[in-house]
A and B are shown apart, each in its own frame.
Chain A
Amino acid sequence: MKLLKPSWVTHDGKPIFSVDIHPDGTKFATGGQGEDSGKVVIWNMAPVLREDDEKNENIPKMLCQMDNHLACVNCVRWSNNGLYLASGGDDKLVMVWKKAAFIGPSTVFGSSSKLANVEQWRCVTILRNHTGDVMDVAWSPHDVWLASCSVDNTIVIWNARKFPEIVTTLKGHTGLVKGLTWDPVGKYIASQADDHSLKVWRTMDWQLETNITKPFNECGGTTHVLRLSWSPDGQYVVSAHAMNNSGPTAQIIERDGWKTNMDFVGHRKAVTVVKFNPKIFKKKQRNGNAPRPSCPYCCCAVGSKDRSLSVWLTSLKRPLVVIHDLFDKSIMDITWTLNGLGVLVCSMDGTVAFLDFSQDELGDPLNEEEKNTIHQNIYGKSLAVTMETQLSTTVIENPEMLKYQQERQAAQSAIIAQATGPDNQTPKLANVVNGESLEDIRKNLLKKQVETRTADGRRRITPLCIAQLDTGDFSPALFNSVPILPGSSVSTTLIPQLSSDSNTATSLCLRAPPEPPATSPTKNTDDKESGNPSVNSAALKSNLLLTSASKIEPMKALDSRFTERSKPAPGMFSVCVRGKEASGHKDWKVKEDTSSDSEDKGTQRIPPLAKRKADMDGVEVVEKRKKGRPRKDTKIMMNVPHSYPQVRAVYLGLENELCVRACVRPCVQVGTDPVTYVEVENEVSVVAGARISQLRCCREKSEWDIVLPSRIVLTAGSSDVVAVACEDRTLSVFSASGRRLIPSIMLPAPMSALHCSAFFVMALTASATLSVWYANDPSVPHSTVNQCVLTEQGVPVVGLSSGKTYCFSPSMETWNLIVDKQDSLVQCADFRNCISSLGALGATGPLAITQGRNLSAGQLASRLSSAPHHLQQGMTLAFLENQLCSSLLLLSANEYRHWLLIYTRFLVSEGYEQRLRELCKDLLGPVHKSSSTSWEPKVLGLRKRDLLMEVLPVVGQNLRFQRLFTEYQDQLELLRLK
Chain B
Amino acid sequence: MAKVQVLNVAVLDNPSPFGNPFQFEITFECMEDLPEDLEWKIIYVGSAESEEYDQTLDSVLVGPVPAGRHMFVFQADAPVPSLIPESDAVGVTVVLITCTYRGQEFIRIGYYVNNEYTDAELRENPPLKPDYGQLQRNILASNPRVTRFHINWEGGSEKMEDSENVDPAPNAMLPPACPPGKALGLMPDNSMDCL
Task: Enumerate chain A interface residues (CB-CB to B < 8 A).
Answer: 35-37, 67-70, 93, 95, 106, 108-113, 123, 126, 429, 442, 445-446, 449, 454, 458-469, 486
Q: Which of B28, B29, B146 contacts A111 (CB 8 A)?
A: B146
Measured CA separation A213–B58 after assembly (Å): 65
Measured CA separation A434–B12 after assembly (Å): 24
Measured CA separation A466–B69 after assembly (Å): 6
**Could you tell me if B190 and A111 are in contact, using CB atoms closer than 8 angstroms?**
yes
**Could you tell me if B189 and A112 are in contact, using CB atoms closer than 8 angstroms?**
yes
Shortest C-beta distance, A520 to chain B (Å), equals 39
What 9 A-B pairs are tightest by C-beta distance, nearest first?
Answer: A110-B146, A463-B70, A68-B1, A467-B69, A460-B61, A446-B73, A463-B72, A459-B60, A112-B189
**Could you tell me if A36 and B193 are in contact, using CB atoms closer than 8 angstroms?**
yes
**Could you tell me if A109 and B7 are in contact, using CB atoms closer than 8 angstroms?**
yes
Excluding A35-B190, A110-B146, A462-B72, 18 further A-B contacts by CB distance (< 8 Å) are A68-B2, A93-B1, A95-B1, A109-B7, A109-B9, A112-B190, A112-B191, A429-B69, A449-B72, A458-B59, A458-B60, A459-B60, A460-B60, A462-B62, A463-B70, A464-B72, A465-B66, A469-B69
Which secondary structure dominates chain A's binding surface? loop
Interfacial chain B residues near A110, Cβ < 8 Å:
6, 109, 144-146, 191-192
Residue-wise, chain B 72-106 has the 8 Å CB interface mask toward A (1 for contact) of 11110000000000000000000000000000000
Measured CA separation A2–B190 after assembly (Å): 37
Q: With A70-B164, A111-B146 as given contacts, are A446 and B75 in contact (CB-CB < 8 Å)?
A: yes
Number of A-B residue pairs, CB cutoff 8 Å, is 111
Closest partner residue, chain A, to B3 (CB atom): A126
**Can you identify 29 A-B contacts, CB atoms within 8 angstroms?**
A36-B192, A36-B195, A37-B192, A68-B2, A69-B1, A70-B150, A109-B7, A109-B8, A109-B144, A110-B192, A111-B146, A111-B190, A112-B190, A112-B191, A445-B25, A446-B23, A446-B75, A458-B59, A459-B58, A460-B37, A460-B61, A460-B62, A462-B62, A463-B28, A463-B63, A465-B69, A466-B68, A468-B68, A468-B69
Shortest C-beta distance, B34 to chain A (Å), equals 11
Measured CA separation A467–B30 after assembly (Å): 11
For chain B, residues 1 to 60, give those with C-beta under 8 angstroms from any C-beta of chain A. 1-2, 5-10, 12, 23, 25, 27-29, 31, 37, 58-60
Is B122 among interface residues, defined by CB-CB distance under 8 A?
no
Interfacial chain B residues near A111, Cβ < 8 Å:
146, 190, 192
Q: Which of A37, A109, A469 has the most CB of B within 10 A?
A: A109
Q: Which of A68, A69, A461, A464 has the most CB of B within 10 A?
A: A461
Measured CA separation A544–B53 after assembly (Å): 86
**Could you tell me if B190 and A113 are in contact, using CB atoms closer than 8 angstroms?**
yes
Is B166 among interface residues, defined by CB-CB distance under 8 A?
no
**Could you tell me if B61 and A461 are in contact, using CB atoms closer than 8 angstroms?**
yes
Measured CA separation A946–B22 after assembly (Å): 69
Q: Which of B7, B60, B67, B75 contacts A469 (CB 8 A)?
A: B67
Q: Which of B12, B70, B193 contacts A35 (CB 8 A)?
A: B193
Interfacial chain B residues near A458, Cβ < 8 Å:
59-61
**Could you tell me if B73 and A445 are in contact, using CB atoms closer than 8 angstroms?**
yes
Shortest C-beta distance, B41 to chain A (Å), equals 11
Measured CA separation A35–B194 after assembly (Å): 9
Interfacial chain B residues near A37, Cβ < 8 Å:
192-193
Is B186 among interface residues, defined by CB-CB distance under 8 A?
no
Measured CA separation A9–B29 after assembly (Å): 29
Measured CA separation A671–B128 after assembly (Å): 115
Is B65 among interface residues, defined by CB-CB distance under 8 A?
yes
Interfacial chain B residues near A459, Cβ < 8 Å:
58-61
Closest partner residue, chain A, to B65 (CB atom): A463
**Could you tell me if B7 and A467 are in contact, using CB atoms closer than 8 angstroms?**
no
**Could you tell me if B70 and A465 are in contact, using CB atoms closer than 8 angstroms?**
yes
Interfacial chain A residues near B31, Cβ < 8 Å:
123, 469
Closest partner residue, chain A, to B148 (CB atom): A110
Interfacial chain B residues near A93, Cβ < 8 Å:
1
**Could you tell me if A464 and B70 are in contact, using CB atoms closer than 8 angstroms?**
yes
**Could you tell me if B193 and A466 are in contact, using CB atoms closer than 8 angstroms?**
no
**Could you tell me if B71 and A463 are in contact, using CB atoms closer than 8 angstroms?**
yes
**Could you tell me if A70 and B1 are in contact, using CB atoms closer than 8 angstroms?**
yes
Shortest C-beta distance, B47 to chain A (Å), equals 25
**Could you tell me if B191 and A445 are in contact, using CB atoms closer than 8 angstroms?**
no
Q: With A68-B1, A111-B190 as given contacts, are A449 and B70 in contact (CB-CB < 8 Å)?
A: no
**Could you tell me if A460 and B63 are in contact, using CB atoms closer than 8 angstroms?**
yes
Measured CA separation A446–B72 after assembly (Å): 7
Closest partner residue, chain B, to A454 (CB atom): B61
**Could you tell me if B1 and A126 are in contact, using CB atoms closer than 8 angstroms?**
yes
**Could you tell me if A461 and B74 are in contact, using CB atoms closer than 8 angstroms?**
yes
Interfacial chain B residues near A486, Cβ < 8 Å:
66
Q: With A123-B31, A464-B70 as given contacts, are A442 and B25 in contact (CB-CB < 8 Å)?
A: yes
Shortest C-beta distance, A155 to chain B (Å), equals 23
Is B181 among interface residues, defined by CB-CB distance under 8 A?
no
Measured CA separation A768–B28 after assembly (Å): 77
Is B64 among interface residues, defined by CB-CB distance under 8 A?
yes
Measured CA separation A341–B26 after assembly (Å): 48
Interfacial chain B residues near A123, Cβ < 8 Å:
1, 31
Interfacial chain A residues near B67, Cβ < 8 Å:
468-469
Measured CA separation A454–B164 after assembly (Å): 31
Measured CA separation A602–B191 after assembly (Å): 66
Interfacial chain A residues near B193, Cβ < 8 Å:
35-37, 67
**Could you tell me if B72 and A106 are in contact, using CB atoms closer than 8 angstroms?**
no
Measured CA separation A394–B142 after assembly (Å): 55
Q: With A36-B195, A37-B193, A460-B37 as given contacts, are A109 and B6 in contact (CB-CB < 8 Å)?
A: yes
Measured CA separation A468–B30 after assembly (Å): 10
Closest partner residue, chain B, to A106 (CB atom): B7
Measured CA separation A378–B145 after assembly (Å): 61
Measured CA separation A460–B145 after assembly (Å): 26
Measured CA separation A458–B75 after assembly (Å): 14
Measured CA separation A35–B62 after assembly (Å): 31
Interfacial chain A residues near B8, Cβ < 8 Å:
109
Interfacial chain B residues near A465, Cβ < 8 Å:
66, 68-70
Closest partner residue, chain B, to A447 (CB atom): B73
Shortest C-beta distance, A165 to chain B (Å), equals 16
Shortest C-beta distance, B120 to chain A (Å), equals 33
